[in-house]
Amino acid sequence: MKHGPNSIQGRFRRLTGYKQDEVCADCRHTVKLHGPRRIYYKCEMIGITGSAATDISLRDVACNLFSPGRREDE
């Protein structure tokens, strides 16, 4: 799924701004969830839902709420 300007991620990043030199993989707000068929990544700042609409990619450009460091449970 592509994260276009009208996706939840696109709208969220437009509100918070972008941190072009960082990616979601390096942010402590990134959460890893195990599904029945794959691993899903969510952002605590966007919200943890059961919907694919709030899935994020580890390669996504981080928003200005970026907080460096991996979570301890990763």
Residues 24-53 pLDDT 10s: 999 999 999 998 999 999 999 999 998 888
pLDDT > 50? residue 1:
no
Q: What does the pLDDT average to over 65-73? A: 78
Lookup result for tokens 């960082």: 22
With a CB cutoff of 8 Å and minimum separation 6, the contacts of 49 are 42
In percent, the amount of the chain with pLDDT more than 90 equals 53
How many whole angstroms separate alpha carbon 18 and alpha carbon 59? 13
Work out the pLDDT band at 71, boundaries 50, 70, 90.
low
Confidence (pTM):
0.80
Q: Residue 65 CB: number of other CB atoms within 10 A?
A: 17
